[in-house]
Structure 1
Amino acid sequence: MTKSPTSEPVNHRTLVGRQRRERTRQKILSAALKVFARTGTNAPLIEDFIVEAGIARGTFYNYFRTTGELLEATIEWLSADFIESIECELGEQTDPLLRLATGLQLWLYKAEHDLAWASFVARPDFIKRLPFEPVWRDLHEGRQAGLLDFPNERVAFDLLAGTMIVAMQGYVQGNTPAGYTTDIVRIVLQGLGVEPARIDTALSHPLPMVRRLPVSMPVA
């Protein structure tokens, strides 16, 4: 059976159209990240996102109907983005303490070099909606293995998340001292009951290269 002479061009046009739509969607999400970081969840108007993205009003409504819908999409985008990129590096690592130490350092390095992202994520109403199942798992397994020592996992997570929020805000404000990332991770691990020698070993472990670059990472 011979192929239709028009089938391949049609498929190509469809693919190009999808790619164009995805680029526009990511452009809107990138703009939303900056707007939400500046204003929070309640203040922005749709016009704010249109201006930031440099698109027409009709284009915006082709993708999102409300600011609430855009907020949900932005959170989902970040969730599937940087957390997944960290998991790509930690996938073969089974030591829960090393996973925590490495993941926290990568998270803070991201905050240091992507202030719009840090401003967005550092808000308590945003960070609590991100999928931190891998962190909960590492806390549970680390405690079970005797590597971590804390009263309960909720207390441990709140200590970790609260410290990370303040640390990210420090990067945004631009008043962090040298060695801040390592010192913050060390303090978190101390709070989780990790022995000093184990902390030293975990922090001396080479950090992996983030091979799956987050789509939210600004292009140089």
Structure 2
Amino acid sequence: MTAIEMGFVAEGEPWEGPDHRQRVAAKKRQRMRALLLSTTLRLLMDNLNAPPSIDDIIRTAQVSRGTFYKYFPSSEAILRELIGKMAERWVRAADPIVRSHDDPAEHISRGIRLASMLAVHQPGVAGILGRFGWSGHHAPSMLEFVRRDIEDGVRHNRFAPMPTTLAFNIVTGAAMSAMHRMLETAGKDDISELAAAVALRALGVESTTADAISSSPLNTNIVLFEDMLDATNLEAS
């Protein structure tokens, strides 16, 4: 017996079974989550001094508080997911460039320099990641991105033995300082190579070697940063 004969659908109308309804409902949920994330992103881009409140988000997205709570338990939760998604995509884009050399000192230097370049080409993204990413611990992928190279460098005697936390603070401090300086001067004061060299020396790399590594050619182009801009649309996964 067909769906028409059973009375579930009128003749001439498509049969929409439970699987179809589930797919439609899933797409609606995905669109709503994407709307909430993109709204939060837009509010952050407009004001980096303070993360948006739930009231800010629902007013801008034009949804109810109940709708927000169906997807996120708090403003902190949506911020954490947003920053995590942005950081993950940034690491995914930067990793092939960083990993094109087998020296952990090169990895550290390239990571710092790429972060500085992000500040020039995508200042909004850099501002958010700098404000809420490393420093806010909302981006575990970015933290792991640095930690694995530090541990590898110490293990292979490329870096001086030291607590991982201390080495981590050296690297992220140099990266954040360079990024903020580049943001402040709109890229006119490029201290990315200097910041990378200072970080490497602090990790125990000899000065001449640190300077050479930090000024070595960095094979990248604007496509990396265009991809990062696309990623900020943050379609929910």
Deviation at 1:18, TM superposition (A): 5.0
Which residue of 220, 223, 227 maps to 1:213? Answer: 227
Contact 1:30 1:216 (C-alpha < 8 Å) held by counterparts:
no
Q: Greater shift after overlay, 185-194 or 23-32?
A: 23-32
Contact 1:136 1:157 (C-alpha < 8 Å) held by counterparts:
yes
Q: How does 1:194-213 map to 2 (within 5 A)?
A: 194-195=205-206, 196-209=208-221, 210=224, 213=227
In structure 1, the gaps of 5 or more residues are none
Say which SS state the counterpart of residue 147 (structure 1) adopts.
coil
1:71 aligns to 2:79 (yes or no) = yes
TM-aligned CA distance change 1:218 to 1:67, over 3 Å:
closer
Aligned-CA RMSD value: 3.7
Contact 1:90 1:99 (C-alpha < 8 Å) held by counterparts:
yes
Deviation at 1:158, TM superposition (A): 0.8
Which residue of 151, 154, 169 maps to 2:165? Answer: 154
1:180 aligns to 2:191 (yes or no) = yes
Q: Greater shift after overlay, 130-139 or 194-203?
A: 194-203
TM-aligned CA distance change 1:102 to 1:21, over 3 Å:
farther
TM-aligned CA distance change 1:26 to 1:163, over 3 Å:
farther
Say which SS state the counterpart of residue 215 (structure 2) adopts.
helix
Say which SS state the counterpart of residue 103 (structure 1) adopts.
helix
Q: Matched residues in 1 for 2:134 and 2:214: separation? A: 29
Q: Tell me the equivalent position of 1:40.
A: 50
Which residue of 126, 148, 151 maps to 1:118? Answer: 126
In structure 2, the gaps of 5 or more residues are 1-13
Which residue of 97, 105, 108 maps to 1:100? Answer: 108
Q: Greater shift after overlay, 144-153 or 104-113?
A: 144-153
Identity between Structure 1 and Structure 2 (%): 21
Number of corresponding residues: 211
Q: TM-score, normalised by structure 2?
A: 0.68
TM-aligned CA distance change 1:48 to 1:199, over 3 Å:
same
Q: Matched residues in 1 for 2:110 and 2:88: separation? A: 19
Say which SS state the counterpart of residue 123 (structure 1) adopts.
helix
Which residue of 174, 180, 185 maps to 1:169? Answer: 180
